[in-house]
Amino acid sequence: MKRQIGKSDFSFITKELNHYEETGLITTGQKDSIVNIYIVKGELNFVRIVVTIGAILVGLGVLSFIASNWGGMTKLVKLSLIFGIFIGVNAISFNLQSYPKTARSLIYLGTLVYGAGIFLIGQMFNFGGTYSTAFLLWSMGIIPMAFQQRDKYLLLFANVLFLIYLNASLSEGFPYVSIIGIPALYLALNYFGRPKLLLFFANVSALNLIGYLGFRNEIVGLYIAGGFFIIGLLMFTIRHKLHFDIFKLQGNIVFGISGIVLTLPHMWTRVSNSYQTEASTIFAIAFMILLFALIRKGSLISLLFVCLTIFRYYVDTFEFLPKSLFFMVGGLLLLGFGFYFERLRRTQKGGISL
């Protein structure tokens, strides 16, 4: 499997290899073999951005025109407009394959028209059902196109729509599709070259489903927050080859948020009504020790959660303190941490020693 690198990195490697070839350190064949190991990442392109935004604006304009004249149209005209625009946009895209960026932007426009058509046709014929189902159908309709075009952004959009479906179905019944859908998201990563962005949102969907199951089964808040705290720690610490940096980032966020929630005394009602404050305080001390240990290792996100935890206690407990004192203490802490991180980075570069 080829190693993906940025365009600037590829240019640097190529330049260096050419120099080695000219000086006789390596042969032409060796240089070509090394170059073939790499592939340039697909970077955001100005033309692609412009045509994509243009396609979205056109789509919004067409949909706005249809919506404003919806009441005066017959059902036949409505259906003809929806299917005509959808087929027409995709047909034009197919005939513009020699202009891939414009063709791809028209495909994006077609996905918007497809989604709008689901809602408009449902309203037209009073199909009933729930709006979460409409988002599910929209997501499922995009997936085949994402695979056919091998477009990670289409799959990402389908994932976002799937997340909306999961959250919207909280009060509508168990989302059985998620049993197949979420594992499918992880399996699809291999087909798309394991992009980090897709992995990030696949993890969000999985975490979302875990939270959904907890709230749906009316599990006590302490157990839900505690469960997420443990999940976050596991994501942060267990090393593996599937973009561990993404798991580490999300794990830090998950156990940071759940940790702040667990510092609230009322979350500990299951322990004892008499010792809620004591239990939450003990956890808060342990939580802060963990965060400071991670800050010492260079975790900026942990620093953010230290600040948020301090602010939570200020709002909840120390509100009687002057705001000026709170801001001064907070500012001094940030200055101190800023100095510490700068010193840490210089140490890692061999500038000074701790």
Q: What is the pTM of this model?
A: 0.69
Tokens at residue 95, please?
A: 């005939």
Q: Answer yes or no: is 295 within a domain.
A: no
Distance CA 227, CA 286 (A): 17
Q: Which domain holds residue 36?
A: 1-43
pLDDT band at 330, cuts 50/70/90? low
Q: Answer yes or no: is 120 within a domain.
A: yes
Q: Answer yes or no: is 312 within a domain.
A: no
Q: Answer yes or no: is 306 within a domain.
A: no
Do residues 185 and 221 make contact, with C-beta atoms less than 8 angstroms apart? no
Last residue within a domain, chosen from 70, 96, 128: 128
If asked whether residues 13 and 53 sit together in one domain, one would say: no
Q: What pLDDT score was predicted for residue 231?
A: 95
The count of domains in the chain is: 2
Q: Answer yes or no: is 20 within a domain.
A: yes
Mean pLDDT estimate for the chain:
80
Q: Answer yes or no: is 268 within a domain.
A: no
Q: Which H or E run includes 233?
A: helix 221-237
Tokens at residue 264, please?
A: 């609230």
Lowest mean pLDDT among 62-66, 219-223, 348-352: 348-352
If asked whether residues 20 and 49 sit together in one domain, one would say: no
Q: What pLDDT score was predicted for residue 324?
A: 60
Between residues 261 and 10, which one has the greater pLDDT? 261
Do residues 62 and 85 make contact, with C-beta atoms less than 8 angstroms apart? yes
State yes or no: pLDDT of 334 exceeds 80: no
If asked whether residues 34 and 52 sit together in one domain, one would say: no
